[in-house]
């Protein structure tokens, strides 16, 4: 059994070799506070400091990868456990879903703009596809009354052709439907993180001659609120 002095000398020796506190503690099982006192005056060379810094970075990277793997497993477990929660969506359920979807993301009539038509804006492909399905199945809107506008950040102008193709593939509509592209200009450096390779701008789905349709959706929304007792 080593004496405290032997442990201290061993700890100092290991520190001078460039070992981290955690590595030393594996060989010298003492309180971390005691180790800190012993090594307080032990100086390290530049190379040793760089070695310790590299070890810390590698440890942080391993920890980050472990947390990522744990998160992925948890998400997969949640997805698997909820697969049976939603089955057989009826036409009525789809109708109600579309009303709520439009209430959240659609354009509404205002006092200063009482004749607003149906305009749905989003960047999520699945949400766009669901809204179009709702328009076709529940509102019985024909394809020739559905048009699209694309809004892009100015840094993506050069990719506008590929972005138009992307939305054409998502929606199943002819590429000619996506010729209206509006550029969002800014004099400030954007802090948004979603302007990389997965950025396809914002898509507006516009229904022609749909002022009364918009009014009907608003009435449905009000009735849902009344039935739920929130008004």
What does the pLDDT read at residue 170? Answer: 97
pLDDT higher than threshold 80 for residue 7: yes
- Which residue is it, tokens 């998502």? 170
Please, are residues 72 and 80 in contact by the beta-carbon 8 Å criterion? no
CA gap 156, 122 in Å, rounded: 17
CA distances 221 to 96, 139, 180, 230, Å, are: 9, 15, 30, 11
pLDDT score recorded for residue 13:
86
Taking 60 as the threshold, does the pLDDT of residue 189 lie above it? no
Which residue from 121, 90, 144, 106 is spatially nearest to 205, judged by alpha carbons?
121
pLDDT at 213: 97
User: What integer pLDDT is reported at residue 188 of this predicted model?
Assistant: 53
Of 111-120, 141-150, 180-189, 219-228, the poorest mean pLDDT is in 180-189
> Distance between CA 125 and CA 166 in Å, rounded?
10
Separation CA 175–CA 24 (nearest Å): 65
Q: What confidence score (pLDDT) does residue 76 get? A: 95
Mean pLDDT of 45-61: 82
Residue ranges per domain, the chain?
4-81, 91-227
Give the pLDDT score at 103: 97
Question: Any residues with CB less than 8 A from the CB of 12 and at least 6 apart, and which?
Answer: 38, 39, 42
pLDDT per position as a tens digit, 63-110: 999 999 999 999 999 999 998 999 999 999 999 999 999 999 999 988
Question: Residue 194: which pLDDT band, with cuts at 50, 70 and 90?
Answer: low
Average pLDDT over residues 41-51: 78
Choose between 227 and 16: higher pLDDT: 227
Token pair of 209 as six digits: 């001659």
Strand partners, 184: 153
Q: What are phi and psi of 218, to 5 degrees?
A: -65, -40
Q: Return the structure tokens found at 96.
A: 């109600």
Q: What mean pLDDT value characterizes the chain?
A: 90
Give the span between the Cα atoms of 164 and 178, in whole angstroms. 6
* Residue 1's pLDDT band (cuts 50, 70, 90): low
Q: Is residue 187 predicted with pLDDT exceeding 70? A: no
Q: Residue 151: beta bridge partners?
A: 182, 202
Question: What is the C-alpha to C-alpha distance for residues 213 and 21, in angstroms, rounded to an integer?
Answer: 69
Percent pLDDT > 70 in the chain is 94
Here the tokens at position 59 are 């440890």
* Strand (E) or helix (H) holding 204: strand 202-207
| Closest CA relative to residue 148, chosen from 221, 98, 200, 187 | 200
Q: What is the DSSP string of 162-201?
A: HHHHHHHHHH---GGGG--EEEE--SSPP--S--STT---
pTM equals 0.73
- The Cα–Cα gap between 222 and 211 comes to 17
């Amino acid at each position: 059994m080593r004496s405290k002095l032997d442990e201290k000398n061993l700890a100092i020796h290991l520190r001078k070799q460039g070992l981290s506190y955690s590595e030393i503690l594996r060989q010298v099982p003492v309180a971390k506070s005691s180790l800190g006192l012993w090594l307080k005056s032990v100086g390290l060379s530049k190379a040793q400091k760089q070695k310790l810094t590299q070890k810390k970075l590698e440890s942080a990277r391993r920890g980050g990868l472990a947390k990522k793997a744990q998160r992925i497993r948890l998400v997969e477990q949640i997805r698997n456990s909820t697969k049976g929660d939603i089955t057989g969506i009826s036409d009525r359920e789809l109708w109600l879903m579309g009303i709520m979807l439009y209430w959240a993301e659609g354009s509404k009539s205002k006092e200063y703009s009482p004749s607003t038509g149906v305009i749905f804006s989003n960047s999520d492909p699945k949400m766009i596809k669901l809204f179009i399905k709702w328009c076709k199945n529940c509102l019985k809107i024909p394809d020739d009354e559905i048009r699209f506008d694309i809004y892009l950040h100015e840094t993506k102008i050069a990719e506008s052709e590929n972005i138009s193709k992307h939305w054409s593939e998502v929606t199943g509509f002819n590429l000619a439907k996506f010729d209206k592209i509006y550029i969002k200009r800014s004099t400030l450096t954007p802090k948004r993180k979603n302007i990389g390779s997965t950025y396809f701008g914002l898509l507006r789905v516009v229904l022609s001659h749909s002022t009364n349709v918009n009014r009907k959706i608003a009435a449905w929304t009000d009735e849902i609120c009344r039935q739920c007792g929130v008004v």
